[in-house]
Amino acid sequence: MHPPLSKNVTEEIQRLRSKIRYHNYLYFGKAAPEISDREYDILYRQLCNLEALYPQEIPQDSPTQSLGGDDAPALQARHLTPMQSLDNTYSEAEILEFVKRSQKLLSGAPLSFVLEPKIDGVAISLLYRSGHLVRALTRGDGITGEDVTQNALTIRRIPRRLPSFCPEVVEIRGEVFLPRKVFSELNARRVKRGKPLFANPRNAAAGSLKQLDTKVAAARKLDAIFYGLGIWKDENNCQPETDKEFLELLKIWQFSLPPYIWKVKSPAEIFSAIHELEKLRHSLSFEIDGAVIKVNDFRQRDKLGSTTKAPRWAIAFKYESERAESLLKKISVQVGRTGVLTPVAELEPVSIGGCMVSRATLHNEGVIKRKDIREGDYVVIEKAGSIIPAIVGARKDLRSGQEQPFHMTERCPACRGELYQPPGQVLVRCINPQCPAQLQRRLEHFASRGAMDIGGLGKILITKMVKSGLTRKISDIYALKKSDFLLLGTGEKRAETLLCSILESKMRPLWRLIFALGILNVGTTCARALAFRYGSVARLREAKDLESVEDIGTVVASSIRQFFSDAESLCLLYELEKHGVQTAASFDSAQGIDRPLAGQTWVLTGSLSSPRKEIIYQICMRGGYIAESVSGKATYLLAGKNPGSKYGKARRLRIPILDEEEFQRMLKK
């Protein structure tokens, strides 16, 4: 018998699931994590422990039952075999437990392991048919991944063809990464051009691999290393029997392998190899964050099997985060989209793990007081998971007496509005709905890729829009004109592209709009569930049974009701509808329009007789997607008079080319 679920336990489980899904979305969907691997692992372990105590109601979409992020990109395909992630640990005791568990499940049969570096890159799966590379997918959610074939082809060390003795169908898996030197050069060029720096090599690699323009991806000089097998289909059934044999075969096929590989048998040999690799860590040309230990024999792997999320025959040992010391010059306060004030440490720039760090979050005033961190302190900074810098503590032994304690501002630093701190909470909020800092963050969230996906509407341009007064609320985005963007300093072509992106966003799926509204505690998974259950914003607003929706407890339901009871929120929804933004999942059928162009990618070129905005609207209304450049992913090129270079490229790639008359005939079918 398992103990009954109390209200508090239920809410804690829902809170952990919601938080983990949010961080999965940031990590897998946007390649922009907000917390360290260690902090994520703690959250995940807490959820696992609670679900082990209360297994009676574990939903299939719990983060412990799924493989990764759930915000799948538009151009995607299914892996032929699931692309699982690895369980990981920071504890040698858990490595020992992994070995004992494997021996027990295999009835004491002799075991050997392969140990190799855990590369901090972007997981990729290459599909070869009859020796030809036909597709490259990112991990995605483990079931489907984003198709990045064209950009993968720009990586020199990825073989286009395999020798004649290869299997009929095979998936080869590995990591795409940016070498340390290339990453440093890339950031140096961005500094010269006044562009924001990439936070770390992994983020830069993820962004490069997903570029729409293959020339940009090629210029980034991505590299790759391979080590894993997905599917193997071969009439002669000559699949390698061990990981060691498979790696030797990869070498013959001209794949790049991990530079160090150990074959080990005992726990003592495993730990020795882990420590040896850690010493070699900084001599490598790329980032690693640990070691991977895998059972060598493939037949033993089959017997060990896997959970929904990870194989039982492998585990990753993670190295502790790197640390450095620097002067904390000042503690500034930043305002988020929900009005929460977050203290940020402004640091003397310091290099940690090859990345320059000049800012670090301090979370809230309570954390600062608890750690006794002061302006003027020398502080210990941890580059947690090589992603987010965090301040571990102050070097109190180095204090001169001139250091100043931090006190939270009494007014909002952005608008000088009143602040409010709910009883018993550490968070302080600006309660001015017209606060420009909040507006800017809300606009950034609304336009982000995971929400309404308005391409080109980034942080810098939004800052200009707010400062100039062009946007005083979210719905103002849909009232912008070409002349407005020209006044902000964009070129004509970019202004037209932005307007097209804004127009396209009106047709986004309902769940994206719900997420984009920025309702407190509502992430992408929750937004999908709400869209599926209620089908429109209007029905969601009137819903009385929110708690009956999967993964929505009293806290989330309260946030939703609070949002829809606010006059400003209702005004926003009214204005979005007035501008033609889709607010119901049944929009297409309600208008009597089907989606015959669903899944198609269109590129426009030349002078068109109809306004370009109108043509884009017609395509988007019917489920099509507009791309800015011609690639192998394009379905059609719509060509007007005097077409440019896109026309020639489409012909070379044998992409069907339509004129306006043919296009209109297609729409009437």
Domain boundaries, the chain: 7-57, 76-318, 322-415, 436-583, 601-668
- Of 24-28, 179-183, 540-544, give the range with the top mean pLDDT: 540-544
Residue, of 599 and 204, whose pLDDT is higher: 204
Percent of residues in the chain assigned helix, strand, coil, to nearest 5: 40, 20, 40
Q: Residues 204-218: what's their mean pLDDT?
A: 81
**Percentage, residues of the chain above pLDDT 90:** 41
Q: Residues 349-366: what's their mean pLDDT?
A: 80
Judge contact between 32 and 203, C-beta under 8 A. yes
**Per-residue confidence (pLDDT) for residue 216, from 0 to 100:** 77
Average pLDDT taken over every residue of the chain: 84
At 255, the pLDDT band (50, 70, 90 cuts) reads very high
The residues annotated as belonging to the active site are 118
Residue 66 scores a pLDDT above 60: no
pLDDT tens, 647-660? Answer: 888 888 889 999 98
Which of 357, 382, 304 has its CA nearest to residue 109?
304
pLDDT tens, 266-282? Answer: 999 999 999 999 989 88
CA dist 505 and 455 (Å) reads: 9
**Residue 365: HSE in the Cβ half-sphere, 13 Å Cα cutoff:** 15
pLDDT tens, 456-468? Answer: 899 899 999 999 9
Q: Residues 610-628: what's their mean pLDDT?
A: 74
Task: Give Cα 529 to chain centroid, integer Å.
Answer: 20
What is the SS3 assignment for 266? coil
At 392, the pLDDT band (50, 70, 90 cuts) reads confident
The answer for 416, left when phi > 0, alpha when psi is -120 to 50, beta otherwise, is left
**Per-residue confidence (pLDDT) for residue 623, from 0 to 100:** 67
Six-digit token string for 169: 């169908």
> First and final CA of the chain: distance in angstroms?
61
Residues near 38 by beta carbon (within 8 Å), at least 6 away in sequence: 90, 318, 321, 384, 385
Return the CATH number of the domain spanning residue range 7-57: 1.10.287.610
Six-digit token string for 251: 């070498």
Helix 567-578 with 554-564: angle, nearest 10 deg: 70
Domain boundaries 601-668, CATH class:
alpha beta
**Per-residue confidence (pLDDT) for residue 517, from 0 to 100:** 94
Residue 540 scores a pLDDT above 60: yes
Count other Cβ atoms within 10 Å, centred on residue 459. 14
Count other Cβ atoms within 10 Å, centred on residue 399. 13
Residue 531 scores a pLDDT above 60: yes
Domain boundaries 322-415, CATH class:
mainly beta
Residue, of 669 and 368, whose pLDDT is higher: 368
Judge contact between 120 and 177, C-beta under 8 A. yes
Question: Does 436-583 carry CATH code 1.10.340.70?
Answer: no
* Claim: this prediction has a pTM higher than 0.75: no
What is the SS3 assignment for 298? helix
Question: Do β-strands 113-119 and 288-295 pair in parallel, antiparallel, or remain unpaired?
Answer: antiparallel
Question: Do β-strands 288-295 and 144-146 pair in parallel, antiparallel, or remain unpaired?
Answer: unpaired
CA dist 189 and 216 (Å) reads: 14
Six-digit token string for 99: 């070995």
Residue 26 scores a pLDDT above 70: no
CATH fold for the domain made of 76-318: D-amino Acid Aminotransferase; Chain A, domain 1 (3.30.470)
Residue 638 scores a pLDDT above 90: yes
At 29, the pLDDT band (50, 70, 90 cuts) reads low
CA dist 309 and 87 (Å) reads: 8
